[in-house]
Amino acid sequence: MAFFAQYAYQPMYVYGFIVAFMVASGFGLPIPEELTLMSAGLVAYMANNPDKYPPPYPGMEGVDTIVLCIVCFSAVVFSDTLVYLIGKYFGGSLIKTRFLKKHVEGEGFKRINSWFQKYGGWACGIFRFTPGIRFPGHLSCGLLGIPLWKFLAIDALVAFISVPTQVYIVAKYGHLIIDRLAEFKMTVVAIAAGLFLIWLIRKVYKKHVRKNT
């Protein structure tokens, strides 16, 4: 909360971070888009409640919820279109690289092809709701020759339905998330402790077996 609160009154930093994180997420880096949107909404919630999260200095401008929704939407469409254009103009060469071979030869690409065969151009919108194959999916849209106008229309429509609503709801009702963070924290700690215990037992057991063989 302290990390988010320090940026609630530095809107230009927040908007810049969102664009950078969305582009990174669009290229398949492990920065979940949903986590970025939720974090952005929490920052806006704090800026909207200066009584609970006061600015460092009086009169500082906070993150504006509407502007934030526009920035998030624009960043999402921009990152998706950038991947599409790379697929359109460089996909033939990139698909032979080691970086993309795992997507081409794996189950993810088979699923992408089946969705294209079943839904046609509307598959562009399905990729928006499918973390893990957004990058190869949008890359395939360009590689397989989906018209740019069609990709933009479908992707923007789906993003308009999902992205601003997520940000706005969190910005409006962020207290519900913040109030539950303590419970989530305890749950995560309990799960992590359980997994560590299982790992430790397995390691000790394997070491014991090796000594007796």
Would residue 196 count as lying in a domain?
no
Higher pLDDT, 73 or 23: 73
Lowest mean pLDDT among 33-37, 40-44, 184-188: 184-188
Q: For the CA atoms of the chain, what is the radius of gyration?
A: 22
pLDDT digits (tens, 9 = 90+) for 55-103: 888 888 899 999 999 999 999 999 999 989 988 888 777 666 665 555 5
Tell me how far the alpha carbon of residue 203 is from its chain's centroid.
34
Q: For residue 182, what pLDDT is reported? A: 60
Residue 168 included in any domain: yes
State how many domains the chain has: 1
Domain range spanning residue 146? Answer: 2-180
Q: Residue 164, Cα to own-chain centre: how many angstroms?
A: 14
Distances (CA, A) of 29 to 21, 22, 26, 138: 9, 10, 7, 14
How many residues can be counted in the chain? 213
Residue 131 covered by a domain: yes
Q: Which has the higher per-residue pLDDT, 70 or 104?
A: 70
Torsion angle of alpha carbons 156, 160, 161, 166, nearest 10°?
Answer: 130
For residue 197, is it within any domain?
no
